[in-house]
Structure 1
Amino acid sequence: MFLPTSKKEMDKMGWDACDVIIVTPDAYVDHPSFAMAILGRFLEKNGYKVGILSQPKWKEPKNFLELGIPRIAFAVSGGQMDSMVLNYTATNIPRKEDLFCENKNPFFSQKGDLKKYRIRPDRCINVYCSQIRSVSKNVPIIIGGIEASLRRIAHYDYWTNKIRRSVLFDSKADILIYGMGEYPLLRTIEKLESGITIDELDVESTGIIIKNIDGFSDVVTLPSFEEVKSQKSEFAKAQNLFEKNGDNKYLAQMQDSRYYFQNPRMNITQKELDFIYDTDFERCPHPRFENVPAFEMIKTSVNSHRGCYGDCSFCAIASHQGKSVISRSRESVIKEIRKIASQPDFKGTISDIGGPSANMYASSCSVGGCTEHNCLKDGYGCKNLISGTDEYLSLLIDAGNIGRVKHVFINSGIRFDPAILDETFLCEILKNNISGQMKVAPESGSDKVLGYMNKPSKEVFEKFLKTFNKIKKEEGIRKFVIPYIITGHPGEDDIEAEKTKNFLDKNNLRGKQFQVFTPTPMTRSTAMYYLGYDPKSGEPVHSEKNQKRLNSRKMAMIDK
């Protein structure tokens, strides 16, 4: 049975009210890869009545009362991806498709609409919270998901070319949960239910608004919104302090006359992660939605771990999921695959077992972690990094031995760094777990740009490619490398772009995995783009902002 999405469905369950209503712009898919489902099921598992308000027609505030007013709180998300990234291309052109909507259609198309409008509004969290607040004054609003995680502090907004306040202030919500939200949301709901007021709330991985920070010790205080807005040097200082903190200590930033105040990140154990996934899901879209393309892509995939210590300058994963990898147990993953394999429509293929970087599964640190968290260090790895390669390969083999499973593939990103990709492992996955094309991300063919990206040099990638081709020849495997390339990243001018084209040509790399750099909030690369220099070193960094030139570079690389 699905979580209720309407009053009628609530009546069938005998509910007068929900304890928590999760509001999302995505079609409701009851699958553990979808945030609304995993959060809702986790709260349900802990005794709460949860409703899913999926794709409300947001221009009318009354539509946010489809499930009534929740007993404890509204939990609002911007969706599986940032609404601005989903609604616009890197060159700021409105997108005409949304994979998280029925049949990719991003517009409401109900009869009687005089003008169609987007299912997912721009700055979705702000819009949803404003409409909810207009019809429900007193119920707490909790915001979360990647859209909130990346806008916790004062940040540069590419789409308006301005510095914006924390989304907690702009949305007028009460509580912000950053990162993976199951346990922080549960603890927050438990405390609200017990009568604790919002300004007394002390839950890890949450942020609230307070009047002053007197009485708090060991707080990392960022330059204020006004300082960051008016002085680029203060923006750089805030960026560096935020990165250095790594969500390990309390953090505060004045915005107008009050403070955004953030608690340290919540770290969970393998047992707690297993508990999240040891839950029954329908593993399909709610009957209201006939075809959700994003679901079709992942319906037989399995999340094996969370977090990424790759520390790429342009990537939002570390800010959202954290740099520490937490992996599910082998037993937990195998149990989920058995459930998938038992479904009548299962055709024999597990499309993916992975996470942000698939081969980080089961990796760990021999000294329990450090402040820098730069585990890969130019691809060759920190001496304290313990690769989980053997455990991951064993998991793939065990999954392939489950009844009715014919193929187990890896479709998550694979890091080519020697620290977590040895020749034996590469040989095995090429023979058994790569369907035809191995997608890897050199990102650029310019060592200068790769340095700004905090990625290994092109030499590291070329060594990987040499090993890849050697295995192909020895094993008689017909497989290909598809490179993922970012064009327009800070540091790339015409000379460096030409180096990337020559790099692709030299190594006979073909494919269309190209993307123009999108400056998403709070990343170091976005700070470079805005500042014109690297906030860490102070070194000037060129960023191409002419859209025609950026598209021209991209097309030239595709032609290669």
Structure 2
Amino acid sequence: MIPFLPCTAQEMADRGWDRCDFILVSGDAYVDHPSFGTAIIGRVLEAEGFRVGIIPQPDWRSPESLTLFGRPRLGFLVSAGNLDSMVANYTAARKPRRDDSYSPGGEGGRRPDRASIVYANLVRRAYKRMPLIIGGIEASLRRLAHYDYWSDSLRRSLLLDSKADLLVYGMAERSIVEIARRMDAGEHIREIRNIPGTVVLADEDSLPEETIVLPSHDRLKKERRAYAESFRVQMRNTDPVSAKPLYEAYGSNGVLQLPPQRPLEREEFDRIYSLPFAREPHPMYTLDVPAIEEVRFSLVSNRGCFGSCSFCALTFHQGRIIQSRSHESLIREAEELTRHAGFKGYIHDVGGPTANFRHPSCKKQLESGTCVDRMCLYPEPCPALDADHSDYVQLLGRLRRVPGVKKVFIRSGIRFDYLLAEGNDRFLRELCEHHVSGQLKVAPEHVSSRVLAAMGKPEHRVYLDFKKRFDSINSELGKKQYIVPYFISSHPGSTLDDAVELALFFKEQRFIPQQVQDYYPTPGTVSTCMYYTGIDPRTMKKIYVPSDPDEKQMQRALLQFNRRENAELVRRALIKAGRKDLIGYGGKCLVAPAGKSRGKNRGKHPA
């Protein structure tokens, strides 16, 4: 049995340790699986010879909850977990969530709001002058001044609010190893100021050459356009090859963001996933941790995403340069899965942020970096795009032939515009024949050209072309498989007219989504900048933002216009949009007049 990293003083003693080198505090339950950041950082440090203890979901009301291992030799590492704590704790309507898939039994309320700040404060109360490093998705996307939807305010860099010594952003394996080695060699944490992928405290008199000075926090609070300008500069400095240091002033001092770390080499990526993960929640839990279910028998094939959807923070966190594991590494992991007691022959996923991205979008990226002034897929695929699925097709074929594997599914997102850009149906046919479990989830997000442009997504015709080819191939194969498309309501740029256009498309397709995602402004995205400023930072032009709660409710209701409880909202929306012609009993009508009933009008998957 693979030993877990210690979570108790007894487990530390069982290893023969008198103390830990680092203590890792996390807002997630401890699941020793490479889909959990805490497990990866802990195992990477362990492989470097450091003693790591983990305190998962401590009692944030008590500093004593951090003292079970005693004082660590080198420092504390703090993460809110795999999710921003505010996203984990609240819905898009700012209502508390009842559950948390990263907690035992899915129980909500086990991590505090603004967990990085709360845990960092606990460390400071428990141990004076203790080196403190924050990281994870929450720290990564709040590393500079950022709009906070839950307080409807512009908050400071999390480095300042947490009072940490150092902030690590992005995928932190390489950064944390270098930090640990230098601390182990006796270097003080405040002297470590030149590691890529970190944010440090600084003043304007000690900045590196080529540093770009962003608008100060005081100016950002006064001028929303200044925030859009600052975000635009940040967007142009997310590539490790071309990025410059960025400085943001807070009074007489400030924070300095060093350029991102270079992507992992394939050998490094493979090495991380060969570490001895138990692939299970720690045995101290009597209830399972729901988040493990989707990933327990899944394989992480890649990192990074050049899709650059406006509402996604991957560009700011993982970057646009794709990193992928070798076939041999993935096959070894698949063979390990077949020996797992609970494995029934099904690999649930082989993917990453975007499953069908297995190599950089073009050949120049690893030497010259990604383009600063254009995206790879939007508004049209770049002429230099290397759209080639041959490596992925070969990998999937090899995984299917692993003894003990019955089926290999793909459940990560598929970029259908990239798939079509290859110019042949080889991968799509392979996907339909072997890797779809009846339904394929894709994300066209909208049908309106105006909204899709704001989202950085392809024109609606591209999705229709993909669906036509998907249906045709399944017909040839004699398979009844369906596309399940995801759509977002109330995204910046979306008016009631656009929501009506989307509802009419659903009516035409005889499809009503079971779930609709109301746009959620989370830190680190282009869309959130639009939401806060009313400006598209890519063009610096004004953009319409449906921020009024009543309008947001109407837009959402239109996407499920056949539900009886939405009827009054749909009528109000259509009247406000000047589309009374869609109230009635005609073929295109969306809702019956007030006081009348259309009877059952249930949507279904398109045939």
Q: Larger deviation: 431-440 or 209-218?
A: 209-218
Q: CA deviation at 1:522?
A: 2.8
Does residue 152 of structure 2 align to residue 161 of structure 1?
Answer: yes
Counterpart of 2:78 in 1: which secondary structure? strand
Counterpart of 1:519 in 2: which secondary structure? coil
Distance 1:362 1:491, change over 3 A: same
Does residue 325 of structure 2 align to residue 328 of structure 1?
Answer: yes
In the TM superposition, 1:201-212 aligns within 5 A as: 201=192, 202-212=194-204
Counterpart of 1:521 in 2: which secondary structure? coil
1:383-412 Cα deviation digits (max 9, x unpaired): 222234111111111111001100100010
Equivalent of 2:454 in 452, 455, 463: 452
Aligned partner of 2:597 in structure 1 is: none
Distance 1:84 1:510, change over 3 A: same
> Aligned partners of 1:510 and 1:503: how far apart in 2?
10
Q: CA deviation at 1:271?
A: 1.1
Counterpart of 1:275 in 2: which secondary structure? helix
Contact in 2 for aligned 1:303/1:354 (Cα 8 Å): yes
Q: CA deviation at 1:212?
A: 3.2
The number of residues matched between the two structures is: 549
Identity %: 40
Contact in 1 for aligned 2:312/2:525 (Cα 8 Å): yes
Counterpart of 2:559 in 1: which secondary structure? helix
1:139-176 Cα deviation digits (max 9, x unpaired): 21111111011101111111111111000000101111
Does residue 278 of structure 2 align to residue 277 of structure 1?
Answer: no
In the TM superposition, 1:285-364 aligns within 5 A as: 285-289=281-285, 290-364=287-361
Counterpart of 2:536 in 1: which secondary structure? coil
> Aligned partners of 1:91 and 1:527: how far apart in 2?
18
Calculate the aligned-residue CA RMSD, in Å.
1.6
> Aligned partners of 2:469 and 2:6: how far apart in 1?
52
Aligned partner of 2:187 in structure 1 is: 196
Q: State the TM-score, normalized to the length of structure 1.
A: 0.95
Distance 1:366 1:431, change over 3 A: same
Aligned partner of 1:252 in structure 2 is: 247
1:49-82 Cα deviation digits (max 9, x unpaired): 1111011011011111122221111110011111
Does residue 142 of structure 2 align to residue 151 of structure 1?
Answer: yes
Q: CA deviation at 1:533?
A: 2.2
> Aligned partners of 1:39 and 1:476: how far apart in 2?
46
> Aligned partners of 2:59 and 2:268: how far apart in 1?
36
Q: CA deviation at 1:272?
A: 1.1
Q: Larger deviation: 544-553 or 462-471?
A: 544-553
Does residue 234 of structure 2 align to residue 238 of structure 1?
Answer: no
Q: CA deviation at 1:428?
A: 1.0
1:182-223 Cα deviation digits (max 9, x unpaired): 111111111112122334312110111023343521112111
> Aligned partners of 1:525 and 1:126: how far apart in 2?
25
Contact in 1 for aligned 2:225/2:535 (Cα 8 Å): no
Distance 1:36 1:180, change over 3 A: same
Aligned partner of 2:24 in structure 1 is: 22
Aligned partner of 1:538 in structure 2 is: 540
Aligned partner of 1:101 in structure 2 is: 103
Distance 1:318 1:513, change over 3 A: farther
Contact in 1 for aligned 2:165/2:190 (Cα 8 Å): no
Counterpart of 1:40 in 2: which secondary structure? helix
Aligned partner of 2:59 in structure 1 is: 57
In the TM superposition, 1:116-135 aligns within 5 A as: 118-135=109-126
Residue type matched to 1:179 in 2?
G
Counterpart of 1:226 in 2: which secondary structure? helix
Aligned partner of 2:505 in structure 1 is: 503
Does residue 173 of structure 2 align to residue 173 of structure 1?
Answer: no
Aligned partner of 1:110 in structure 2 is: none
Aligned partner of 1:138 in structure 2 is: 129
| Residue ranges of structure 1 left out of the alignment (5+ in a row) | 107-117
Residue type matched to 1:263 in 2?
L
Equivalent of 1:223 in 215, 227, 233: 215
Aligned partner of 1:480 in structure 2 is: 482
Contact in 1 for aligned 2:313/2:525 (Cα 8 Å): yes
Q: State the TM-score, normalized to the length of structure 2.
A: 0.88
> Aligned partners of 2:361 and 2:465: how far apart in 1?
24
Q: Larger deviation: 154-163 or 420-429?
A: 420-429
Aligned partner of 2:387 in structure 1 is: 387
Q: CA deviation at 1:270?
A: 1.0
Q: CA deviation at 1:242?
A: 0.7
> Aligned partners of 1:45 and 1:371: how far apart in 2?
35
Larger radius of gyration: 2
In the TM superposition, 1:70-81 aligns within 5 A as: 70-81=72-83
Residue type matched to 1:399 in 2?
L
Distance 1:374 1:103, change over 3 A: farther
Does residue 373 of structure 2 align to residue 378 of structure 1?
Answer: no
Aligned partner of 1:403 in structure 2 is: 403
